[in-house]
């Protein structure tokens, strides 16, 4: 959509805030066998989950329209390790035993260190990303349900 196709109010910045899209856009349906899935490391699932989560956050924050810089800062604040730790804590009571096992594997597999987050925070954030990557490959409807339980209105961490 080009600027000329946007409603007049959107260009003036007076568009009323709208609810996030009901169903997150999760592109590229992938069919993966159980044996192939078992070959994927938690780190690889976290790598995929990181991208899926950022796409979800970007999509959720599209409306109301804002300047790209402000949009970017808001997205970054929501995908930081500290925010992901909060999101994981929100989801934990709703996870199945199998999902808790994926979280545990993701947390325990983290070997790299973040320059910006404490090791335990980084491990928990990686655990959330591992779960998201796993569900993206295995159960999109469950992933959508868990996303619907999140509120992106959690306090933002200050940028470093």
Please give, one letter per residue, the 3-state secondary structure of 28-44. Answer: CCCCCCHHHHHHCCHHH
pLDDT, one tens digit per residue, over 66-117 is 899 999 999 999 999 999 999 999 999 999 999 999 999 999 987 666 677 8
Return d(Cα 31, Cα 21) in angstroms, integer. 25
pLDDT band of residue 11 (cuts 50, 70, 90) is very low
Instruction: Yes or no: say if 26 and 140 are a contact pair by the CB < 8 Å rule.
Output: yes
Sorted by where each starts, the structural domains of the chain and their CATH numbers stand as: 37-149 (1.10.1520.10)
Q: Which residues are catalytic?
A: 50
- Least confident piece of the model among 41-45, 46-50, 155-159: 155-159
pLDDT, one tens digit per residue, over 103-151 is 999 999 876 666 778 889 999 999 999 999 999 999 999 999 999 999 8
What's the predicted TM-score (pTM) here? 0.76
Tell me the residue ranges of DSSP E strands in 4-129. none
Can you read off the two tokens belonging to residue 107? 């947390």
Residues 6+ apart with CB under 8 A from 38: none
Assess whether pLDDT exceeds 60 at residue 60. Answer: yes
Return d(Cα 88, Cα 131) in angstroms, integer. 10
Q: Show the CA angle centred on residue 49, arms to residues 147 and 156, nearest 5°.
A: 60
Cα-flanking dihedrals φ and ψ of residue 123, to 5°?
-65, -45
């Amino acid at each position: 959509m080009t600027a000329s196709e946007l409603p007049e109010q959107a260009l003036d910045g007076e568009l009323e805030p709208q609810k996030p899209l009901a169903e997150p856009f999760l592109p590229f349906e992938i069919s993966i066998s159980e044996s192939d899935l078992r070959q994927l490391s938690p780190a690889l699932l976290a790598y995929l989950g990181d991208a899926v989560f950022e796409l979800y956050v970007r999509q959720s924050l599209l409306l109301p329209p804002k300047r790209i810089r402000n949009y970017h800062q808001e997205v970054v604040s929501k995908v930081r390790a500290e925010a992901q730790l909060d999101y994981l804590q929100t989801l934990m009571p709703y996870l199945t035993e199998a999902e808790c096992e994926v979280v545990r594997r993701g947390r325990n597999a983290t070997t790299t260190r973040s320059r910006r987050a404490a090791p335990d925070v980084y491990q928990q954030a990686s655990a959330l990303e591992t779960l998201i990557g796993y569900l993206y490959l295995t159960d999109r409807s469950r992933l959508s349900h868990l996303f619907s339980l999140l509120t992106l209105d959690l306090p933002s961490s200050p940028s470093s």
